[in-house]
């Protein structure tokens, strides 16, 4: 017999089986389906027979509610006996009616009120507390007493007019003490007649009650020199003083002086800005003028007194003064090293020669005798102060006083003034 063919050895077969077991089993990735294919394969959900019956019964159970027809749609007038009330219709519900006629139709269609019901106001008038809370003025009847009531209930012999004459001879310090006596005197002395000027210079700190008392008295002149007032306080105070004519702001910073730019202080006649360190030519020009487009119109056209002593200004400042203050009477440019004969020449070449009555150049070292010769053009000049001017001689002052058309005298070496005027008046 022929020997049978032998297969591969057993070891090789075992090794092949081990390798097959150790090899990882790779899975074939499934193909991604598109949206269209996935939608096609989705099978519709079959509803239960109960749900199908309910679905069929839905259109049978629904009922369309009929719209109620109102009286307006029936073109019937509304009467108080009808229970139905006409609904509010917008303007576009009836396109046939013109828009201008709809308010008239609405007035005709509104029901008439029942005569038995009393008329009640829609909104009651605000109470007195609400009026004061919202800033409304509540009129109060002011009754001025003519007599002072004594402790026993009797009236004093002197009347109010007699007391007012007595108070007119007292200085402000004594008036303040009299105001603490009683309420009647407080009311009488608070009259603006007794307070033409209020002096708060070197006063500080200034409280709101102080400002309210100033507004209550309505003075004509207020002195705030070297006080501790703030910009907000000054902005609040000045517009509330319509009768103010003179204000003194000496030694205050420029940001507080900027409150003069308000529209309610254009009636000022005298402004005192002496010894303001940060005041320059540009600041003074902005103070005296208000820009309106391309033109500059003067704010203080009727200004009569401008005191700029000790301010750091150049000789070009006189051009702004001539332009914006054509009716100036008193000009103080003392203690300024930049003032010279060109300033005097500009003054004498302008319209200020017709209005100036008082000029102060004391402490200006560059003003010479030529200025005295040019100042003869001024018509109403009655006060010239050249004290502490090294370039001006006493002989030039004497010649000016004798040749001027008005009677003038010389005191304190270089002060020229009329003989009837007190030297120490500001």
For residues 288 and 300, give the distance between their C-alpha atoms in angstroms, rounded to a whole number.
6
Same domain (yes/no): 162, 262 = no
In a domain, 160, yes or no: yes
pLDDT tens digits, 276-299: 989 999 999 888 886 554 455 677
Q: Are 196 and 244 in contact (CB under 8 A)?
A: no
In a domain, 307, yes or no: yes
pLDDT tens digits, 370-392: 999 999 999 899 999 999 999 99
In a domain, 244, yes or no: yes
In a domain, 263, yes or no: yes
Tokens 């070009």 — which residue? 316
**What three-state secondary structure class fits 271?**
strand
Residue among 339, 329, 352, 317 at smallest CA distance from 386 = 339
In a domain, 163, yes or no: yes
Give the residue with greater pLDDT, 80 vs 401. 401
Determine the pLDDT at residue 73.
46
pLDDT tens digits, 298-318: 778 889 999 999 999 999 999
Determine the pLDDT at residue 6.
54
Same domain (yes/no): 208, 317 = yes
pLDDT tens digits, 135-144: 434 444 456 6
Determine the pLDDT at residue 10.
53
Same domain (yes/no): 151, 227 = no
Decide if pLDDT at 326 tops 70: yes
By DSSP bridging, strand 383-385 and strand 246-248 are unpaired
Last residue of one domain, picked from the residues 194, 213, 235:
194
Same domain (yes/no): 165, 208 = no
Same domain (yes/no): 282, 348 = yes
Instruction: Give percent above pLDDT 90 in the chain.
Output: 39
Same domain (yes/no): 378, 298 = yes
Burial letters for 242-281: b for 16+ Cβ neighbours within 10 Å, e otherwise? eebbbbbbbbbeeebbebbeeeebeebbbbbbbbbeebeb
What is the rounded (10 degree) CA torsion for 219, 225, 228, 234? 50
CATH assignment at residue 235: 3.80.10.10
Same domain (yes/no): 273, 376 = yes
Q: Are 274 and 310 in contact (CB under 8 A)?
A: yes
Determine the pLDDT at residue 288.
87
Domain count across the chain? 2
Q: Are 320 and 348 in contact (CB under 8 A)?
A: no
In a domain, 49, yes or no: no
Same domain (yes/no): 158, 232 = no
pTM of the model: 0.63
Same domain (yes/no): 257, 235 = yes
pLDDT tens digits, 84-110: 555 555 544 444 444 444 444 444 444
Instruction: Give percent above pLDDT 70 in the chain.
Output: 62
For residues 238 and 260, give the distance between their C-alpha atoms in angstroms, rounded to a whole number.
8
pLDDT tens digits, 184-229: 888 888 888 899 999 999 988 899 999 998 998 899 999 999 999 9
Alpha helices in 180-312 (DSSP H): 183-189, 208-217, 231-237, 254-257, 281-288
In a domain, 107, yes or no: no
What is the span of the domain harbouring residue 189?
A: 145-194
Same domain (yes/no): 178, 242 = no
Determine the pLDDT at residue 147.
79
- The HSE-up count of residue 363 (CA atoms within 13 Å, CB side) is 11
For residues 362 and 389, give the distance between their C-alpha atoms in angstroms, rounded to a whole number.
6
| Burial tier of 136 (Cβ tally within 10 Å: 0-12, 13-18, 19+) | exposed
Mean pLDDT across 313-333: 93
Residue among 235, 223, 248, 233 at smallest CA distance from 332 = 248
In a domain, 269, yes or no: yes
Same domain (yes/no): 206, 168 = no
Report which secondary-structure segment, H or E, holds 319: helix 317-324
**What three-state secondary structure class fits 118?**
coil
Same domain (yes/no): 317, 219 = yes
Determine the pLDDT at residue 67.
53
Helices 341-348 and 317-324, axial angle in degrees (round to 10): 20
Last residue of one domain, picked from the residues 194, 226, 256:
194
């Amino acid at each position: 017999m022929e020997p049978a063919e032998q297969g591969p050895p057993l070891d090789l077969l075992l090794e092949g089986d081990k390798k097959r077991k150790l090899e990882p089993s790779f899975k074939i990735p499934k193909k991604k389906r598109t949206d269209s294919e996935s939608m096609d394969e989705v099978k519709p959900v079959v509803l239960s027979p109960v749900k199908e019956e309910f679905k069929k019964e839905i259109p049978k159970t629904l009922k369309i509610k009929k719209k109620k027809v109102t009286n307006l749609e029936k073109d019937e007038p509304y009467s108080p006996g009808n229970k139905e009330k006409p609904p509010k219709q917008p303007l576009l519900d009836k396109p046939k009616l013109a828009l201008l006629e709809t308010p008239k139709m609405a007035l005709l269609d509104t029901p008439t009120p029942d005569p038995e019901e009393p008329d009640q106001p829609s909104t009651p008038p605000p109470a007195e507390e609400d009026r004061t809370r919202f800033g409304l003025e509540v009129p109060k009847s002011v009754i001025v007493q003519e007599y002072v009531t004594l402790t026993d209930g009797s009236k004093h012999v002197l009347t109010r007019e007699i007391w007012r004459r007595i108070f007119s001879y007292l200085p402000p310090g004594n008036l303040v003490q009299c105001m603490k006596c009683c309420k009647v005197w407080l009311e009488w002395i608070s009259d603006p007649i007794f307070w033409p000027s209020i002096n708060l210079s070197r006063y500080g700190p200034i409280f709101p009650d102080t400002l309210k008392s100033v507004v209550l008295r309505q003075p004509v002149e207020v002195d705030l020199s070297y006080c501790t007032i703030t910009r907000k306080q000054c902005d609040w105070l000045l517009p509330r003083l319509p009768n103010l004519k003179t204000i003194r702001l000496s030694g205050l910073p420029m940001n507080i002086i900027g409150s003069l730019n308000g529209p309610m202080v254009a009636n000022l006649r005298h402004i005192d800005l002496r010894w303001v360190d940060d005041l320059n030519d540009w600041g003074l020009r902005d103070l005296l003028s208000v820009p309106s487009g391309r033109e500059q119109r003067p704010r203080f056209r009727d200004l009569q007194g401008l005191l700029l002593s000790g301010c750091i200004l150049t000789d070009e400042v006189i051009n702004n003064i001539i332009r914006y203050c054509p009716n100036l009477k008193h000009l103080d440019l003392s203690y300024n090293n930049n003032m010279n004969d060109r300033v005097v020449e500009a003054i004498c070449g302008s319209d200020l020669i017709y209005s100036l009555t008082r000029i102060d150049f004391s402490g200006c070292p560059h003003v010479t005798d030529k200025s005295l010769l040019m100042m003869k053009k001024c018509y109403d000049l009655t006060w010239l102060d050249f004290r502490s001017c090294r370039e001006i001689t006493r002989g030039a002052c004497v010649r000016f006083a004798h040749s001027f058309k008005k009677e003038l005298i010389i005191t304190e070496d270089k002060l020229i003034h009329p003989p009837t005027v007190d030297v120490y008046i500001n």
